[in-house]
Amino acid sequence: MNYLVLRFHSLGNVAMTVPVIASLATRYPEHRFMVVAQKRLQDMFAGYANIEFVEVNFDWGKWEGMKKIYYTLKQKSIDGIIDLQDDFHTRMLRWMLRKRHMPVSVFEKERWKKFLAYSFMKRKSPLLTEFERYSNAFAAVGLQADESFRHIPVHLDYAEECQRLFGDKHGYWIGIAPFAKYKSNVLGVRKTKEIIAHLAHRKDTHIFLFGANKIECERLKQWATIYPNTTSVAGQLSLGIELELMRRLDIMLCMDSANQHLASLVGLRCVSVWCATHPILGFKAWKQEEQNIIQLPIACRPCRVHGTNHCRYGNFSCQDIDTNMIIERIENNLVTK
């Protein structure tokens, strides 16, 4: 059977579908999974014979774009639809593509978790993870995912390019992704620079700085010129090469951002810093250890599900994390690797 899987964006959310879809592709080699997402995310699904990537590239508000992707998908044989996004665009596609008796499954968003984040009555038991809710959506059409996923296959071309760009590995390679979409999810410039300065002066250690948008790239490029043994790869690599570079790292330091999920796709151990957000809401990365999650036990957390640019108290006290604690956690992981 051919299953259409809809999850157009964003980077972190699509990355969280990979462990589920990859385990299903391995467990059900007789089925074909057609993943519809933005072109830049294609490399996450490379290496699986029965996963087909279908590019979606249109302006969200234009009906012409909807028709374009519809006609592309209409030409394919589809036996079932799994909607892992459930927004206006995927609902429209479901309606247009659905045939009589075709199984359709939609993942459960748990919208009430926003109420949990805003309320003063904090829930002690965690919500279902994104992986569990994605798995439940496939289970509704009779496909049972498991936890067998360890990492995506090595892409030989990207691995060779990574070798050409960065050469042989000597000593420890540490990745640092200090930014996130929202201000509340970022540790802060001063603290981040303290961590980079300490690690960059370690013997036999090289630091790689990861980032995304133009402002982040410019800032990280500047930092790379200040600190020794530090290279900024922000905005320099395709996603496939970036994943292969992460595969060669020993440890990654990141915030609650897409980078923790990308690292998990290549089996890289992460030390993740959670400020305003909280793993209890289900966005912890795949198979990352609880001991490598750093956060403060303050009453106002979590104040948002995904983060915010404003603090109700005006002080972002959730970011008052001791940098020595982070450095110690990173160095302990290097010793035990």
- Do 250 and 332 lie in one domain? The reply is yes
Residue 145 within any structural domain of the chain: no
Confidence check: pLDDT of 61 > 60: no
> Beta-carbon neighbour count of residue 162 at 10 Å?
21
pLDDT reported for residue 299:
84
Is 277 in contact with 307 (CB distance < 8 Å)? yes
Residue 249 has pLDDT above 70, yes or no: yes
Residue 108: which of 124, 91, 128 has the closest Cα? 128
Give me the pLDDT at residue 190, please.
95
Where does a domain end: 106, 139, 172? 139
Side-chain-side CA neighbours of residue 125 (13 Å): 1
The answer as to whether 40 is a domain residue is yes
Assess if residue 144 is contained within a domain.
no
Question: Which of 139, 171, 200 marks a domain boundary?
Answer: 139
Note the pLDDT of residue 121: 46
Pick the closest to residue 247 from 175, 170, 176, 180 (CA basis): 175
- The pLDDT value recorded for residue 58 is 61
Indicate whether 125 and 160 sit together in one domain.
no
Q: Is residue 134 domain-shared with residue 165, that is, in the same domain?
A: no
Burial 168-180 (b: 16+ CB within 10 A, else e): eeeebbbbbbbbb
Domain end among 139, 172, 188: 139
295 vs 96, more confident: 295
Can you give the residue range of the structural domain that contains 189? Answer: 156-336
What pLDDT is attached to residue 337?
66
CATH assignment at residue 160: 3.40.50.2000
What confidence score (pLDDT) does residue 120 get?
Answer: 45
- Looking at residue 225, its amino acid is T
Please check whether residues 9 and 130 belong to one and the same domain. Answer: yes
Same domain, 268 and 131: no
CA distance 148 to 145: 9
Whether the pLDDT of residue 286 is over 60: the answer is yes
Task: Tell me the pTM.
Answer: 0.93
Domain check: are 121 and 184 in the same one?
Answer: no
CA-based nearest residue to 13, from 41, 50, 52: 41
Give pLDDT tens digits for 97-144.
Answer: 887 788 999 998 766 666 565 554 455 567 889 999 999 999 999 999
CB 13 within 8 A of CB 130: yes
State mean pLDDT over 56-71: 73
Looking only at the bridges linking them, the beta strands covering 230-232 and 80-83 are unpaired
Residues 20 and 121 in one domain: yes
Query: Is 72 in the same domain as 178?
Result: no
Residue 85's Cβ-count burial label (10 Å; 0-12, 13-18, 19+) is buried
3-state secondary structure (DSSP) of residue 41 = helix
Overall average pLDDT of the 174-183 stretch: 95
- Please count the structural domains in the chain: 2
When mean pLDDT is compared across 45-59, 134-148, 225-239, the lowest value belongs to 45-59
Q: Give buried/exposed letters for 190-221 (b at 16+ CB in 10 A, else e).
A: ebbebbbbbbbebeebbbbbbbbeeebbebbb
Q: What are phi and psi of 61, to 5 degrees?
A: -85, 0
Q: What pLDDT is stored for residue 160 in this prediction?
A: 97
Rounded to an integer, what is the distance from CA 116 to the centroid of its chain? 23
Q: Which residue, among 87, 133, 136, 80, has the nearest Cα to 110 in the 3D structure? A: 133
Does any domain span residue 171? yes
Tell which wins on pLDDT, 259 or 125.
259
Predicted confidence (pLDDT) per residue in 260-277, tens digit? 999 999 999 999 999 999
| Number of other residues whose CB lies within 10 A of the CB of residue 297 | 5
Q: Would 250 be classed as within a structural domain?
A: yes
Instruction: Give the phi and the psi of residue 182 in degrees, each rounded to 5.
Output: -115, 150
Sheet holding 251-255, edge to edge: 230-232, 205-209, 172-177, 251-255, 270-273, 293-294
Same domain for 229 and 269? yes
58 in the same domain as 96: yes
Whether residues 234 and 327 share a domain: the answer is yes
Would residue 188 count as lying in a domain?
yes
Q: Is the pLDDT of residue 70 over 70?
A: yes
Residues 6+ apart with CB under 8 A from 112: none
Q: Is residue 11 part of a domain?
A: yes
**Residue 260 confidence (pLDDT):** 96
The answer to whether residue 55 sits within a structural domain is yes
Percent of the chain with pLDDT over 70: 93
Please give the Cα distance from 27 to 159 (Å, whole number): 26
Mean per-residue pLDDT over the chain, rounded: 91
272 and 191 share one domain = yes
10 Å CB burial of residue 227 (0-12, 13-18, 19+) is: middle
